[in-house]
Each structure stands twice: as structure tokens, then as C-alpha cells.
Structure 1
Amino acid sequence: MERANEFLKLSDEESELVSRLAVPPHRVGIDRSFFEDLILKGIRVDRAEPGLVSCTFKVPPRLTDRSGKLSMGAIANLVDELGGAVIQIEGLPMNVSVDMSISFLSSAKVHDELEITSRVLGQRGGYSGTIVLIRNKVTGEAVAEGRHSLFGKHASKL
């Protein structure tokens, strides 16, 4: 436990930066959440069609860990957001994440340009499965692959 506490300990400079962070209240259904805004800033949608979303994303410094690489938490949030986006139907409530499994295959550094492709694997009732593949656009190397399960119980339109 001591090692974990030491690892998570902030320097005085980091502590000062965190104390100056202004997070306005989130108005559900009106505003994007803090995490949506943090992750989705900078994503450019290249292609969107039923069952497929393809995006380009340049790694910003705010999403990197102490070693300057895209953080695992940012990758998990990208999988969550884009895995959910590919099944979202306009005007219906968002589905909720049930399970995510992410394979971290390589790393991405600040300013690396990434290709992110999200596809629907299948749907049955209110359950959906998606896959999100994150690749370095220049090298073609896979950075991460995430499988995302979601559930949404929507009222019938019949």
C-alpha cells in the first residue's frame, strides 16, 4: 500500500495545478460531462454510418501520463465513448456500459496521430457488443483494442 501511495503522491507543482482546476457543474442532458469534454476535444470524425464510426485523433499533452505516453485511462475512456457512439440512436437515452475488455498493445506519444475505428459486433434485444481499434496512423501499429458491451432498455415504437 505504501508503494501505491508513493506512486500516486503529487508534487507541489502538480497539487497547485489540480487546485486551480475549475470544473463547472454538469447539467445532465444539456451539457457534456467532464470526461466527454476532456476526451472528445480534438476527435475528428472521418466516417460515420450505421454500425461503423471512424475517427482521427491527435494525442494532446493533457491525456498523457508522466512518461509522455497516452494514458491507459484515456484509452479506456476512448473505448467507452466511441464504443457507445457507434450504437447511439439520436433522440434515445444513452446505453450504459456493462463490460469492457481492453488489450494495450503498444503506446502512443504526444502529437501522435491515431486512427480509431469502432464497429458493432452484434445486437440482441437491449444488449450490444462493439469493438474499438486504436492504431498509430503513421506506422499502422495497433495501440489498443477494446471490446465493449452495453445495455439499453428503450421503449418500443410499436
Structure 2
Amino acid sequence: MEKAKGCLELNKEEAESVSRLTIQPHRVDFEGSFYEDFAVRGIRVDRVEPGFVSCTFKVPPRLTDKTGNLATGAVVNLVDEVGATIFQVEGRSLTMNVSVDMSISFLGTAKLNDELEIISKVLGRRGGYAGAVVLVRNKETGELIAEGRHSMFAKQGSKL
């Protein structure tokens, strides 16, 4: 337990950096949230087709770990966001989509300023349940950084 606590503790430099953050309250429908500004800013949609979305993302300093690699949590976030986007694009999105399951294989690393290509493809849909595959690849080298599977459930509208 002590070892785990030690891993989570911030050093002096990290603590000072966190203390300088200013996070304003989010005003719905007026401005972006902290999450939108921090985690998804910079994702650029390049191509959209039925069942397919292609995006590009340049790795920013805010999403790298201590070693300068894109943080694994940021990769998970990219899989979640781009994987969910595919169901919005299909036009069958309903009022509330909820992630049911995600599995991600980390196959490589991305460094600061690497440009990534993120592709999401629909695997299938049955009722309110849908699945997608998301590939995160280094755009310059073609190296596969991660492969994710993302499934979602959407509440179906009434048939009455």
C-alpha cells in the first residue's frame, strides 16, 4: 500500500504546477468545459463516411507523461471520444449513449508533437447496442500505437 501511495504522490515541481492551474466553473451552452479544453482540444476530423470516421491529433505537452510519451489515459480518452463519435455520425444516435465496454491494446508509444491518425469503424449494431474498432496510428511512420474496441448502449426511442 505504501508503494502505491508513493507512486501517486507529486514531487515539489508537480505540486507547484498543479497549484498554478486555474479552473473556472463551466457555463453550459456558453463555453467549453475544462474536459473539452484539456482532453479533446486539437482532435481534427478529416473524413466522415457511413460507419467510418478519420481524425488527426498532434500530441500536446498537456497529455504526455514524465517520459514525454502520450499518456495511456489520453489514449483511452481518444478511443472513447472517437469511438463514440462514429455513432453520432451514423445519424442513429439517440438521446443518451453510454459506454458499456472498452478494451485497448497498447502496441507502441507516441511522443510529444507526433501527429496521430485515429480511425473508427462500426463493427455492428443490434438494437440499442453498438460496437466500434478504433485504431490509433503514428501518421508519419505508420506505427500502430493502440487498437481499441468500444461498445455503447443507447436507449431506444418509443415505438408508439
TM-score normalised over the length of structure 2: 0.89
Q: Number of paired residues?
A: 158
Match in the other structure for 2:83:
83
The two structures, once aligned, show a CA RMSD in angstroms of 2.0
Contact 2:127/2:156 (<8 A) preserved: no
C-alpha deviation, 1:44, in angstroms: 1.4
SS in 1 for 2:87: coil
Amino acid at match of 1:5: K
Amino acid at match of 2:47: R
Contact 2:118/2:137 (<8 A) preserved: yes
Amino acid at match of 2:39: I
SS in 2 for 1:86: helix
Mapping of 1:7-46 within 5 angstroms?
Answer: 7-27=7-27, 32-46=32-46
Bigger shift: residues 147-156 or 67-76: 147-156
Bigger shift: residues 66-75 or 5-14: 5-14
TM-score normalised over the length of structure 1: 0.90
Asked if residue 113 in structure 1 is aligned to residue 115 in structure 2, the reply is yes
Bigger shift: residues 87-96 or 67-76: 87-96
C-alpha deviation, 1:39, in angstroms: 2.4
In 2, the alpha carbon distance for the partners of 1:56 and 1:131 equals 16
In 2, the alpha carbon distance for the partners of 1:78 and 1:152 equals 20
**Alpha-carbon spacing, 1:86–1:30, altered in 2? closer, same or farther (3 Å):** farther
Identity over aligned pairs, percent? 64
Gap runs ≥5 in structure 2: none
Q: 2:127 aligns with which of 96, 100, 125?
A: 125
Amino acid at match of 1:25: P
**Alpha-carbon spacing, 1:33–1:122, altered in 2? closer, same or farther (3 Å):** farther
Mapping of 1:47-86 within 5 angstroms?
Answer: 47-86=47-86
SS in 2 for 1:18: helix
The structure 1 segments of at least 4 consecutive aligned residues displaced by more than 6 Å after TM superposition are none
